[in-house]
Structure 1
């Protein structure tokens, strides 16, 4: 086995490595000593081929991680381990590259937690308190907690001020190691040595010489009574002695507090762990060095008796060179973009917090549109408002909108309840919900007629099955071999709800919980925009855009949505290509039918020509949807990235207020003049109500949430798979 190890090390260094040396950057005397011991151990255990490459491992002393980044850029050092927030800065602003990620015992990410002494503090009462942070731009010590506070609008942040100023105004005093150069007012609680000599000044620096540096230092800041709250990662909680744990609590997002052991449910978000960076032209050597060091001295290293890569206690400190909690280093391939390394959600959060500086994107709201008709309405919206600039960005479907929001290509969109579930699983958060009641209730403290509305109850819409009155034989239980019309893929009324009912006595839908497969088995053919195969054969495409594909998952397919399902039921203008049953929402049903004639689609059809199919086998007039339906559906929800919640909400409220003055000029909740229905928002919407204080599960309701969750547990979904790639795991 020893021979195999030596041969493997020789193979690792056999290409383009000879004569190279690695210069590791250290930020304290203990780290310097550990680095020196690593250098000695490498000489002892590596074979001659590797020794010639790395026997001269040298340790370059710096006064902070920022100094390390500068030294690596200037070719005066080669590599350093950084917090994920610093990794992003090193890559995006200083041109370095990430070559490895730390993987911990309970997964590949960290949870941000807010720790307090056992007191009456909660996450909503932090203003004016003293705060301890692991580090500036750090994942758990800065970005995730600030992202949460901004998403709930607890932390005011005016557009014209730097985020550091907003944080300084929010807390009465802080220690944020690394903030000294840009925001010294965030360093008042720090304890590091002060000196006019740069190399000897450790006050508020990202160095172990600052007592309150990193997550352990932030906890020390709290323990010593200097701060009231410490923002750290969950790994640091293990450093608190068992006898002391009762003295501390975690602050949860719902305003409650929890024991330290409950960090999995009580945290402020999750993000990537630390990583190793180097210069781009040094990346291959750095990877081989890390592989060799890990094979020799990692958790399962052959020579870990001689040296332990992930242990620092013997040097009188912790987390030296690497995090002590590291189980292994995942060495990254060349083709990994920083968004893939750190995750789309995290990168979008950092951009939202201004980690790349200000840009034009910071002053506009980018709304997602999925068709020509939506684009036209969105552009009219942009011309009609006097609030922040609105930019209308095209996507191919609601699912594509979710992808674009995660990728920071667009900011917000109104999603139906099923897509809101998907968006929530993808890390997006609610801003407002569409309200379908008769009267909108002004927010507490607001004036009658104001733009800000709130409600604890969200009037639903209902899923219904509509047939032509003349089709007397179409009933629940005998739909086998019929032609079906569905609003669109994943739509609650067109895709989710119908499969829960007995469509055909010949097919037991309970044997298959994937709605698409149920419909493929029951119906001869149909139109389910967004799918493929027989359930696209009734679709007709569109004449609004050259090259529009049939069965597209947007309004460019003329049978898309609620109005599209009615068109599908009556057939195209020639009377052909029609379905026998349409699954859609009850709202605006009469208006959609009456629009068929004036639009030139189909003359002579009236609401009396259609009936509802009831679950008990009856038929009923369209007006009886309250007693004859397939289930209640939660409202559409506007979703965005967490850090943008307050900005999107303010934009929507300004729009709502501006447009209410002259509704005859432009109405956000009317769409028929664009030849469609439910563009951007449902036409049944009376107003938009504030929901950013709620999570998406609360808005959807437990019954609907469990229904969708059960379906997606056994249904393949490209969009959920896309989102799952971006979510790190906590076991």
Structure 2
């Protein structure tokens, strides 16, 4: 900011404050009060004489705890305070305040939630019956992320009808969770703040500096004094750990191992937003200008930082006073910024799952995402047949839309193909179950035993095929340029990814083209790749053709487009019921191919079609019968998987297990779709059983070769869903 800009800023702030207003900062301890008073004096020293009287009216308002700060700001008795993200969410959603700025640290605006213990004493799976200290109730690193971590892994079992604090009280043998309240005395039993029947003198288990174990520094202090066995705090408290602290304490990692205190980026329970400054809506512009001025004068690169340092607390014999000492600068926010954009979609979904807005009916439901009218119809019948566990069917227009809805906590689960599973990982969703195909899974289902896996490569595979009609002479799979193509859908493993090496890759001397979606448009003359655009939508027909031309939902990435999916690509290759040919080659998967040919024949779509009318194009340039897919295919495809948010894994898998049991021999069949006029609705029709996979990572589930291939494809192939996922604050600000 130049000198002229700074002068304008100073004068604009002064104009407001001289009009009889005060800028009132809310403080939580005597030390913060001292630092705030010194800030006020520093302003007097550095501001031009014309503004001295105005800025002398900046005052420091002492509050009893963080919730008292929120109340004072809401009641116009204070104007701003910097709070933990958990309290920020409550301030906005419950009390109607506004976020004006976020603290930025070296790693961005987010913090790592860590669990710290003495070396060699504990592992994260062996904490039951221990003593714990937490930075604060409903705080990011002291409560929300660790509790979410334990719930997602079934370490804690929570019946949402009971208070979450009671669950934690039964797990730990004693705790200090400042701010938890009188309803959970066991979670305050280790706190050491002053007790008094007079509220203003009672500091026991409060979120204020008068409780010795308050905040991340306090939780670490609790551990170091030997009061607790484990402390839950943010990484900022150990960034500058002394050599003796590093020798005596260690981090507890999610996999049961331990790590050095400074390895928090690799050994943590999760990542969430750091602190932010809240104010009233009608004070947002003034607060923004005021923070800009403070940063300009006293920030890390402030013009007057020799006189006063905004992000330093050592001169006042404390830590993290007014702001975290690790703060590098402020990220100023627009007035109407959505709370999900401030704190991140993942974090907001976590808080909703933990009941921060009170109990919600959505917490007891499973909301399944459907991508077409036919899927919705099947889902609704599913819901009628699983009465003991409420199911709600949510409509979306594509698998990527479902991923967005799940991340935003507007849906809970969906089944994805392997390429979209890669998107789910990028969006922070987690795997629940994999579809199991073939006799191995069928026999396991008949014998009522689950298939236990550590490597999904052991499952019967799906093969990607290039299918053509015998009366169309192509020569080989390497001579398809300029042809009419039929693809299951955009980004599908068989209809988009694996064929690159045999089509567009060859045009670049066997070097895969960078942007596959663009390359296919140049390679093929025209075709139908649902979800694409341009010439690869030209032969798509939507729901049905009308007298006026193409049908509705034409080229949609869902079953409403009749050429969508494996059955749709086959329809496209065969041509419409009037005998018009629209495709020369179809890229699809082998499962149910013979059944789909029979179905299209019996339904009247393809009169006279039979398996011998088709052939496969092989990687060696030859052709083969369609039953030879094991030896003539474009590659193996990982199974489809069900994904959800981490907090919903147990709920979704339990629901799926019950649904499988109830659909055995019943009128409703979970893995059949022809009744609804389609194929592979909600799940692949070839599915025999759903295998639990929440213990596996995506690389293991998809297989390293496939995972690397899809990652390489999206190095420069644009996908809007990846841009959506990168918007999340803790993904983009590393």
> What TM-score bracket applies, with the shorter chain setting the length?
over 0.9
What is the aligned partner in structure 1 of residue 99 from structure 2?
98
Distance in 1, matches of 2:508 and 2:53, equals 71
Q: Say which of 450, 454, 472 aligns to 2:452.
A: 454
Q: Say which of 568, 573, 597 aligns to 1:564.
A: 568
Q: Say which of 606, 611, 622 aligns to 2:615.
A: 611
Change in 2 beyond 3 A, CA 1:295/1:466: same
Distance apart, 1:339 and its partner CA: 0.9
- Work out whether residues 475 and 621 of structure 2, in 8 Å CA contact, stay in contact via their aligned partners in 1: no
Distance in 2, matches of 1:92 and 1:161, equals 22
SS at match of 2:602: coil
What is the aligned partner in structure 2 of residue 54 from structure 1?
55
Distance apart, 1:368 and its partner CA: 0.4
CA RMSD of aligned residues (A): 2.2
SS at match of 1:326: coil
Change in 2 beyond 3 A, CA 1:274/1:577: farther
Distance in 2, matches of 1:544 and 1:404, equals 31
Q: Say which of 678, 701, 721 aligns to 2:723.
A: 721
5 Å-filtered alignment, 1:664-675, equals: 665-675=667-677
Distance apart, 1:437 and its partner CA: 4.0
What is the aligned partner in structure 2 of residue 293 from structure 1?
294
Show CA shifts across 1:125-178 (max 9, x none): 222222221111111111111212222222211132122111222222211111
- Is 1:151 matched with 2:132? no
- Is 1:551 matched with 2:560? no
Distance in 1, matches of 2:647 and 2:371, equals 24
SS at match of 1:161: coil
What is the aligned partner in structure 2 of residue 699 from structure 1?
701
What is the aligned partner in structure 1 of residue 412 from structure 2?
411
- Work out whether residues 488 and 587 of structure 2, in 8 Å CA contact, stay in contact via their aligned partners in 1: yes
- Work out whether residues 82 and 322 of structure 2, in 8 Å CA contact, stay in contact via their aligned partners in 1: yes
Distance in 2, matches of 1:491 and 1:504, equals 17
Show CA shifts across 1:212-231 (max 9, x none): 11111111122222222211
- Is 1:123 matched with 2:124? yes
SS at match of 1:185: helix
Change in 2 beyond 3 A, CA 1:652/1:203: same
SS at match of 1:262: coil
Which 5+ residue runs of structure 2 have no aligned equivalent? none
Which 5+ residue runs of structure 1 have no aligned equivalent? none
- Work out whether residues 480 and 504 of structure 1, in 8 Å CA contact, stay in contact via their aligned partners in 2: no
Distance apart, 1:363 and its partner CA: 2.0
Deviates more, 1:434-443 or 1:248-257: 434-443
- Work out whether residues 509 and 518 of structure 1, in 8 Å CA contact, stay in contact via their aligned partners in 2: no
- Is 1:633 matched with 2:634? no
Change in 2 beyond 3 A, CA 1:221/1:577: farther
- Is 1:589 matched with 2:582? no
5 Å-filtered alignment, 1:370-409, equals: 370-409=371-410
Show CA shifts across 1:448-478 (max 9, x none): 526x653234323111111112223252211
SS at match of 2:137: coil
What is the aligned partner in structure 1 of residue 714 from structure 2?
712
- Work out whether residues 150 and 645 of structure 1, in 8 Å CA contact, stay in contact via their aligned partners in 2: no
What is the aligned partner in structure 2 of residue 341 from structure 1?
342
Distance in 2, matches of 1:181 and 1:501, equals 67
Change in 2 beyond 3 A, CA 1:55/1:200: same
Distance in 1, matches of 2:2 and 2:687, equals 72
Distance apart, 1:479 and its partner CA: 0.6
SS at match of 2:687: coil
5 Å-filtered alignment, 1:123-272, equals: 123-272=124-273
- Is 1:574 matched with 2:588? no
Distance apart, 1:49 and its partner CA: 5.7
- Work out whether residues 98 and 335 of structure 2, in 8 Å CA contact, stay in contact via their aligned partners in 1: no
- Work out whether residues 90 and 96 of structure 1, in 8 Å CA contact, stay in contact via their aligned partners in 2: yes
SS at match of 1:414: strand
Distance in 1, matches of 2:529 and 2:496, equals 8
- Work out whether residues 480 and 506 of structure 1, in 8 Å CA contact, stay in contact via their aligned partners in 2: no
Following TM superposition, where does structure 1 have runs of at least 4 consecutive aligned residues deviating by more than 6 angstroms? 544-547
Distance in 2, matches of 1:114 and 1:164, equals 19
- Work out whether residues 461 and 587 of structure 1, in 8 Å CA contact, stay in contact via their aligned partners in 2: yes
5 Å-filtered alignment, 1:56-75, equals: 56-75=57-76
- Work out whether residues 563 and 572 of structure 2, in 8 Å CA contact, stay in contact via their aligned partners in 1: yes
- Work out whether residues 514 and 711 of structure 1, in 8 Å CA contact, stay in contact via their aligned partners in 2: yes
Distance apart, 1:544 and its partner CA: 9.9
- Work out whether residues 135 and 177 of structure 1, in 8 Å CA contact, stay in contact via their aligned partners in 2: yes
Distance in 1, matches of 2:542 and 2:206, equals 61
Distance apart, 1:42 and its partner CA: 1.3
Deviates more, 1:237-246 or 1:291-300: 237-246
5 Å-filtered alignment, 1:5-16, equals: 6-10=6-10, 12-13=12-13, 16=16
Distance in 1, matches of 2:2 and 2:632, equals 75
Show CA shifts across 1:519-574 (max 9, x none): 11211111111011011112111139997231101000000001001001101111
Distance apart, 1:504 and its partner CA: 7.9
Show CA shifts across 1:399-457 (max 9, x none): 000111111111111111111111111011111111124234999xx99526x653234
SS at match of 2:527: strand
Distance apart, 1:194 and its partner CA: 1.2
Distance in 2, matches of 1:442 and 1:43, equals 81
Distance in 2, matches of 1:37 and 1:617, equals 80
SS at match of 1:63: coil
Show CA shifts across 1:351-406 (max 9, x none): 01110001221221111000000000000100111332111011010000011111
- Work out whether residues 17 and 285 of structure 1, in 8 Å CA contact, stay in contact via their aligned partners in 2: no
Distance in 2, matches of 1:593 and 1:10, equals 76
- Work out whether residues 365 and 389 of structure 1, in 8 Å CA contact, stay in contact via their aligned partners in 2: yes
Distance apart, 1:184 and its partner CA: 2.5
Distance in 1, matches of 2:184 and 2:553, equals 54
SS at match of 2:530: coil
Change in 2 beyond 3 A, CA 1:499/1:168: same
5 Å-filtered alignment, 1:472-483, equals: 472-483=473-484
Change in 2 beyond 3 A, CA 1:701/1:123: farther
Deviates more, 1:544-553 or 1:600-609: 544-553
Distance apart, 1:12 and its partner CA: 4.0
Distance in 1, matches of 2:310 and 2:51, equals 18
SS at match of 1:156: coil
Distance apart, 1:180 and its partner CA: 2.3
- Work out whether residues 477 and 503 of structure 1, in 8 Å CA contact, stay in contact via their aligned partners in 2: no
- Is 1:350 matched with 2:351? yes
What is the aligned partner in structure 1 of residue 81 from structure 2?
80
Change in 2 beyond 3 A, CA 1:183/1:608: same
Change in 2 beyond 3 A, CA 1:6/1:525: closer
- Work out whether residues 369 and 413 of structure 2, in 8 Å CA contact, stay in contact via their aligned partners in 1: yes
Distance in 2, matches of 1:640 and 1:59, equals 46
Deviates more, 1:52-61 or 1:201-210: 52-61
Distance apart, 1:635 and its partner CA: 1.3
Distance in 2, matches of 1:263 and 1:639, equals 27
Distance in 1, matches of 2:403 and 2:12, equals 42
Distance apart, 1:500 and its partner CA: 2.3
Deviates more, 1:397-406 or 1:199-208: 199-208
